[in-house]
Amino acid sequence: MPEINLLRTDTIAVGSVCNITETLAARANQNQPTLSFEFFPPKDEVGEANLWAAFDKLAEVKPDFVSVTYGAGGSNRERSLAIVDRMAKDVMTIGHLTCVGSTRTGTSKIIKHFEDAGVAAILALRGDSPKDDPDALEKGELKTALELVQLAHEVTSLEVGVAAFPEVHPESAHMQHDAMVLALKQQAGASFAMTQLFFTVEAYTDLIEASSAAGADMPIIPGVMPIANAKQVIRMAAMSGAHIPPKLMQQLEDADEVTARKIGMDYITQLSLDLIKVGAPGLHIFSLNQSVAALELARGVGLCR
């Protein structure tokens, strides 16, 4: 494995890339991981102000790309699309797209919106039914993320990415099944994947090994979350099914808020460094629409000035 250069250059040559996989390849040629951040659509004006303040600060370190999430069943759709529209003018942007409860026609219109906005790629996700419509999945024409990938490949030339699950999808029997599905998504037109939340390097390497054995060789970018607010991260991990190592969990629960933040940030920084050492093509930092911890993590692994 070539030595990784963590003295990351600010930009890739203008005109040398136009999508996510080309960006990953360009950074790999420099022996550098990519740096990217995830944002979510806020619920109100205060949240929106926080989002753009965080975006402006994170944009200063010149991330290779960003992504914007999309609510269950299309909730927060208009806010999500408005954020994508604005971000895509300044940085390579991935628009998340869920299909639960959706029609082929309606989904195609959203994909056209992404095209018009100038997004770099779509992250094709099934999504979960919203709380106020628990049967949305059964009502929609599109039932799986694989069907969404197939539709996107039919109606657009935009690059399509998908989700990957280091600790197995909640509805999956085992990792081998997830890996097979990932391979099918690649065959249907997906060209990269981004992982859900996880906390051990073994979870990532197991995913890579299983995916490779199933025939999925597209880049898989690990998603990492700064542990700045330990209680919040513990709660999110429980909701997503992500396993926090018992020793770390105990340390976080026993410590006061300030000490827990230091323990958590030290842990996630080392995990990120370890992920890069085992060959992760980049780091996708879940910003939670906050800049301080996201910047601390990015700087801690040497991916920004």
- Residue 283's region, left for phi above 0, alpha for psi from -120 to 50, else beta, is beta
Which phi and psi angles does 74 have, rounded to 5°? 85, 10
Contacts of 217 (CB under 8 A, 6+ apart): 186, 211
Rounded-to-integer distance, Cα 284 and Cα 93, Å: 12
Q: Shortest CA distance to 59 belongs to which of 221, 223, 287?
A: 287
Which entry of 3, 22, 38, 141 is annotated as an active-site residue? 38
Tokens found for residue 90: 């300044």
Tokens found for residue 254: 């026993």
Tokens found for residue 8: 């990351």
Report the Cα 131 to chain-centroid distance in Å: 23
DSSP state, 35?
Answer: E
Strands (E), 51-109: 65-68, 93-98
Please indicate whether residue 38 is annotated as part of the active site.
yes
Rounded-to-integer distance, Cα 63 and Cα 60, Å: 8
Helix (H) or strand (E) holding 162: strand 159-164
Distance between start and end Cα atoms, the chain: 25
Report the Cα 5 to chain-centroid distance in Å: 23
Helix (H) or strand (E) holding 204: helix 201-214
Active site residues: 38
